[in-house]
Structure 1
């Protein structure tokens, strides 16, 4: 992996980490298009640069992290299910990370869900006697955490799964999206720590150049995500998720078509 590869993958990560389109799925597709071999370092890079992206949440919502101790407890409750699932399915998840076909299928199916999600979970209108939820309780946090577990399959999108979980608990679009952002912090930090530990336990090392590439990727992902997160919240609060569903269907459909016709993905 060179710096050009690192730059493009970090841009993809920053743009897609908080969108319901699957950042992991897009980085797998981007890696295939760029012809980047799935080496141990490449797999590590795809996970570790997510740290840069999730740090943007801390910058954008820093005041929220000082609101109450309950806030952290709710994040813990939502975080625990993925810890259990990840511990038991780690080997299977790693195998799926090399499957472009899996990404194509899940992008397509997830897109169909997002096209109709606003109808399935319509927003409560206070003027009509509705009571929209803007702050999840303990039960809502746990249910959102269960939904997050679905995202261990590449292409599902952690953001999409947790947002849908929030909508199912009657959270507003904005509240569901923001809680998904907050939950990304412990989830992705734990994933990065686990991958780093496994990387070293398998006998790999990081030389000075690889450390520079990781640092470079995290900085780029942070800056891009900082811009993306602000735009996404406003867009989804106003227009909903249909546009993201259509995008997923198009990308997933094209990807599966290319695979079915044996069109090589290494275009660049």
Structure 2
């Protein structure tokens, strides 16, 4: 097997990981960078690969929600109030990360080179998730606990009932996700729950918010670094993109089914365990 073929197979593997982890609160960036390091995949100093292959995951979400997106776009242009409010909320939630990202992208990218950052963000993020889900469940369906204390006190249970203040809170939470290992989906979902949005609704809003956020991030990185990519690096991005699209198609539907009847505790414990593994790796093996 040639060196180039092996490189592309690694890109394929990382693309699958991206799609599987993008929309669950475990940090796809942490997984891409850590696994990439473990298997010896080098994406260059600019880390364009890790950012741009997220487009595959986003296109998968857009495909899954294509009917709702068409209704949102049509309703916005026709002046339908509920769709206008939804569009307004997406813009409000998008702006904080857009501003912070434009001002601090250089410093944020520098954190990608420090695995120790993942130890803190993975473990702290997991502890915060456990804290949000900390109280006993208040209702059960079919013997499966499905409503946490946070959900029981939620004031927004549909996308249309989210207020602009709640949208802004989600947008501010998304800024925290720029730190590698935090998880964009985790930050926005937990931020939404703390702001009074029901878990399943916060999850769906996080999916929609990912569209403009990650499209903008990918476009920015391509414009800034695209000309410096080699042919092999560009091919690796294309391979990772397709793999991310395929795996995300499976995960998005699975996540929506999961949050209908479960809390995020399992992901919180996974984050903590992964953080401890990374700490042990840095302390004894790196």
Q: Tell me the TM-score normalized by structure 2.
A: 0.84
Equivalents in 2 of 1:211, 1:149: separation in Å? 28
Match of 1:167 in 2: 193
Q: CA deviation at 1:137?
A: 2.1
Equivalents in 2 of 1:143, 1:134: separation in Å? 16
Match of 1:124 in 2: 152
Residues 80 and 145 in structure 1, CA contact (< 8 A), matched pair in contact too: yes
Equivalents in 1 of 2:120, 2:236: separation in Å? 31
Counting only pairs closer than 5 Å after superposition, residues 123-202 of structure 1 correspond to structure 2 as 123-124=151-152, 132-135=156-159, 136-200=162-226
Residues 105 and 256 in structure 1, CA contact (< 8 A), matched pair in contact too: no
Matched, 1:44 2:72: no
Residues 22 and 28 in structure 2, CA contact (< 8 A), matched pair in contact too: yes
| SS of aligned partner of 1:246 | helix
After superposition, what is the alpha-carbon deviation per residue over 1:114-156, rounded to whole angstroms, capped at 9, x for unaligned? 122223752127xxxx755222122211111011001110000
Residues 116 and 242 in structure 1, CA contact (< 8 A), matched pair in contact too: no
Q: Which runs of 4+ in 1 moved over 3 A?
A: none
CA RMSD of aligned residues (A): 1.8
Residues 155 and 198 in structure 2, CA contact (< 8 A), matched pair in contact too: no
Residues 94 and 209 in structure 2, CA contact (< 8 A), matched pair in contact too: yes
Match of 1:244 in 2: 267
Match of 1:11 in 2: 16
Match of 1:221 in 2: 244
Paired residues, number: 255
Equivalents in 2 of 1:175, 1:138: separation in Å? 15
Equivalents in 2 of 1:112, 1:104: separation in Å? 12
Q: Tell me the TM-score normalized by structure 1.
A: 0.89
Gaps of 5+ in 2: 77-83, 136-148
Residues 23 and 185 in structure 2, CA contact (< 8 A), matched pair in contact too: yes
Match of 2:62 in 1: 58
Q: 2:27 aligns with which of 4, 16, 22?
A: 22
